[in-house]
Structure 1
Amino acid sequence: MNILILGDLYTHVDRILALSEMGHTVVYCYTYFPKSLKKIEGTIPCYPLARYSFLEQIHHLVDKYEINVIYSGLHFFDGSLEATIELLDGGITVPIVRHYKEHRCSPTMKERRTLMETAGQIYINDESVEYFRDVYGINLWSTHVMDAELISREYMKETLTPKLSRVTGEPHILIAGNISMANDHQDVRELCLAMNKHRIHVHLYGIYHHQDEEHNIFIRPYAPTLQVYKRLADLYPYVHIHDYITPEEFTQEWSGYDAGFLHVPVPREHYYGRFEQLNMPCRYAAYLAAALPLAAHEGQTAMARFVKKNHLGLVYQSYDELAEQLHDTQHMESLTRSVEDKRYNFSFEAQAPHLIHILSQYARL
């Protein structure tokens, strides 16, 4: 099958190499510059797409590579939505399958069209299917479920680092990904203070960012945010700031911790509140790569269900309860063994056959 990937793969871009290794022709047309592009350049054809001329470029590549299906993804902000609309309006004959993850829980006509007029649609979980069914009345017969940002098994190293907690006698949790000071789902200052009180070490490997009050301007990295957390680490002995590491280092560096923290719980009326009920933060895949149990709040509905169903970590209602579970050595050892046994099931390679099966149902062969 010849697959044209349209849009943005966001994190762990090199996961798509698995599709090529399965014998499929893969062409990547990106609307949002991928940070790890160099990992796939030279292995598969990669093309940057210029806005407002998507149709001409895609037509050219469809003919050149005899494309059978277009796999469009992934978020509302990455340009893939506009590109997909242009293809629909241009009457392209190649079937489009839309994989959709991040959105504002604020219906738009463009979003509706990409979910109602494409040949097939993939949502990241059942909660998202239910949400879009209520909002748009989506076609369940063309609806599929698969998470969007799984990590390659290549980064799930066999050798694990001994737990730091066995040396210090105190739990250690990891926070990776975006970190803010905006009183939102990525602002972990309150968590750091709460864990410090409970003698739990918090290790920050984040990318410190800033977003304006209208949630339009996004600056990353943002030095003032980093400085706020550095001051926090200076004041509180259980807060530790680390340099960014690459996926190749995840297992060795992180498997010595006890759990990976997902997002800060926010009320439903918060700007991100409704989406957080549906979201599966991409950092969870990196945590599983390092064999770390996940820490999800009960209000993060989709993630909490995923963790409970697969016995992959902690679900808590308050930071006090989270601390209590982290201090329960026997409980944490049981969860760690479970994650070690199951983590490979959540690699992209393990799920790739399911994606190929979905795409093949719509491909023009």
Structure 2
Amino acid sequence: MNILIVGGLATNGSRLKQFHNRGCRLTYLSTWYFVEALWDFQDGTLIYEHFSDEDELMGGNNFENRVDELIKRDKIDLIYCILNHGDRSNEFTKRLIEMQLNIPIIRHYKEHLCKFDELERQVLLETDAQIYENTESYHYFKEQYGVGDNYLIALGDPPQYVTFVPEKMPPLLSDKDGEIHVVSFTSNNNCFGKGADYGRYAIEEIVEVLLVSDIHVHLYGNIPEQCVPLYDDLANRFPAYLHIHGFVDSRTTCKIVGQYDWGLIYSHPKKLWGFLEKEKWHFNRLNSPGKMAQYIAANVPFFLKRGIYNFMERTLIENGFGFIFDDYDDLIKHLRDRRTWRYYRENLKLYKHRFSMEAQADKMLNFFKTVKDRRTNVQLFR
């Protein structure tokens, strides 16, 4: 199958290597503002195009001609539009719909805000089929716009195990010192700027509770500037237990976090709920941050506070990958329960492949084929 991928892959392009490994020919037309990290496609397995000019993307006369040329040149069978919030791909998808092409368009909604948007409504209702991040996200759009039933549930950016997960994981630090080690992230690991995503990654309250309980905390990413004085104070008070490591390349994240006993999923303290825009807060309840998939891939049980992420709570409970805590006494009790920790580790080894890009690619390509065949059959009987 020849697939035209449009939208913004950001740093997650490697997952689409699995389409190529299954015999697909890939053309990627980027609508992203930034230079993208397409490490795994330097061997020529991806044909890369880019709409760098705003006028060309949004209203230029050359748009239709250029898309037509790509479709004919690469004999495209299907268009796969993936959304990273802010990549302009809704505008792009709408223009593709208006071209009334004879090939199916599938919309993958990975990230979104939770507020009514007419452009979003048109894109979701007028594409041939949709892919949603999880069942919770689908039900949101069903209620908001009345989206149809021709959809698939697939994770947006799980790690590609063949690239990101080492055959042999590193030894646990706790095997060396007999103490508990927790890992987490203080900012989006790909963001630059100390103020990035403060509300999303404000975990300082939980960090202090862990340190007071003599539990090691390992932090990666930038420290939000609002939190620098607090973390400086914590580092002075708990020099043996607070470890601030800086950025980690996403290609080595699984190897690094695999040293630790537990993964902390960041959450919003109540004091920050007013800081966040309502639509972003609602989306975060539906979201499945990439760190969850990385913890799973690295066999690291994880935990989160109840009532923050609906989808992740369900994933964690249904698969036995970790625990949800209600208060800090409950949290510390769970972290020190090594018997249950071993149970979570075994579950991760048994079921983690379900959350790999390899597994997602299989069901996505089957879905692509079904949508393509349905469009072909409709055209034959017109």
CA distance, structure 1, for counterparts of residue 51 and residue 227 of structure 2: 33
1:226/1:48 Cα in 2 relative to 1: closer, same or farther (>3 Å)?
A: farther
Q: Kindly indicate whether the alpha-carbon contact (under 8 Å) linking 1:252 and 1:290 is maintained by their aligned counterparts in 2.
A: yes
Partner of 1:217: none
Q: Please give the alpha-carbon distance, in whole angstroms, between the structure 1 residues aligned to 2:139 and 2:38.
A: 34
Question: Are residues 1:254 and 2:262 paired?
Answer: no
Aligned to 1:43: 45
Distance 1:115 1:266 in 2: 33
Q: Distance in 2 between matches of 1:227 and 1:46?
A: 40
Q: How far off is 1:5 after superposition?
A: 0.7
Deviations 1:267-303 (A, max 9, x none): 6775232112211001112222221112233211111
> 1:178 is matched by which residue type in structure 2?
N
Structure-to-structure mapping, 1:1-365, within 5 angstroms: 1-32=1-32, 33=34, 35-41=36-42, 42-50=44-52, 51-54=54-57, 55-56=63-64, 57-140=66-149, 142-154=150-162, 155-176=164-185, 178=188, 184-207=199-222, 224=225, 227-228=228-229, 231-232=232-233, 234-237=235-238, 238-265=241-268, 270-271=276-277, 272-299=280-307, 300-363=309-372
Opposite residue 14 of structure 2, the aligned amino acid is D
Deviates more, 1:347-356 or 1:315-324: 315-324
User: RMSD of aligned C-alpha atoms?
Assistant: 2.4
* CA shift for structure 1 position 236: 4.0
Read off the aligned partner of 1:202 and give its amino acid letter: V
State the aligned residue count: 350
| Amino acid corresponding to residue 194 of structure 1 in structure 2 | V
Per mean C-alpha deviation after superposition, the further-off stretch among 35-44 and 268-277 is: 268-277
Structure 1 pair 185/248, CA: closer, same or farther in 2 (3 Å)? closer
Deviation at 1:341, TM superposition (A): 2.6
**Alpha-carbon deviation of 1:225?**
6.0
TM-score by length of 1: 0.88
**Do 2:297 and 2:352's aligned partners in 1 also have CA atoms closer than 8 Å?**
yes
2:379 corresponds in structure 1 to none
- Structure whose CA Rg is larger: 2
What do the CA deviations read for 1:231-279 (whole angstroms, capped 9, x no partner)?
2553342321113223443343221201222221456775232112211
One-letter amino acid matched to 1:152: Q
Q: Which runs of 5+ in 1 are unaligned?
A: 210-223
Q: Percent identity?
A: 29
Structure 2 unaligned residues grouped into runs of 5+: 58-62, 377-382
**Is the alpha carbon distance of 1:232 and 1:60 closer, same or farther for their aligned partners in structure 2, counting shifts above 3 Å?**
farther
Inter-partner Cα distance in structure 1 for 2:123 and 2:134: 18
- Report SS of the residue matched to 1:256: coil
Q: Is the 8 Å Cα contact of residues 3 and 26 (structure 1) preserved in structure 2?
A: yes
Shift of 1:321: 2.2
Could you state the TM-score of these two structures normalised by the residue count of structure 2?
A: 0.84
More deviation, 265-274/304-313: 265-274
